[in-house]
Amino acid sequence: MNKNLSPSQLAWEILREAEEAFDAISMAEEAAIQNGHPQPQSIQEYLGWIEREAVLQQDLLHSDPQESDRVYAQALRELAEELRPLGFRSARSGMELNYDLRQ
């Protein structure tokens, strides 16, 4: 990664790498649409959906370890932790964390 990038450019690069590794961008876009929200456009919006999915995955790890993916859950948490030091906070306005793990 080029360290001479602005925080925003670096965050987009990190997101693109996470998309290649575990479909982070696609997951966030699909989650937004499935929950009646527009597709994320900003780092903050993507971060909100990534953090939401991390919570879902963490809860799944606790409630049904056989059905969970520990590596994916960890990757989501690490992605969020990589974006926050760049100055980004999630845009959670309207994003509900109400969910049904039986879906």
pLDDT tens for 45-69 read: 999 999 999 999 999 988 888 877 8
Residues constituting the chain: 103
- Band the pLDDT of 32: cuts 50, 70, 90: very high
pTM tops 0.85 = no
Quick count: other Cβ atoms within 10 Å of Cβ 95? 16
- Band the pLDDT of 102: cuts 50, 70, 90: very low
- Domain assignment present for 39: yes
- Domain assignment present for 47: yes
Q: Are 4 and 83 in contact (CB under 8 A)?
A: no
Cα–Cα distance, 95 to 100 (Å, whole number): 15
> How many domains does the structure of the chain reveal?
1
- Domain assignment present for 59: yes
- Domain assignment present for 16: no
Q: Which domain holds residue 67?
A: 26-103
- Domain assignment present for 21: no
Q: Are 50 and 29 in contact (CB under 8 A)?
A: no
- Domain assignment present for 5: no
- Domain assignment present for 33: yes
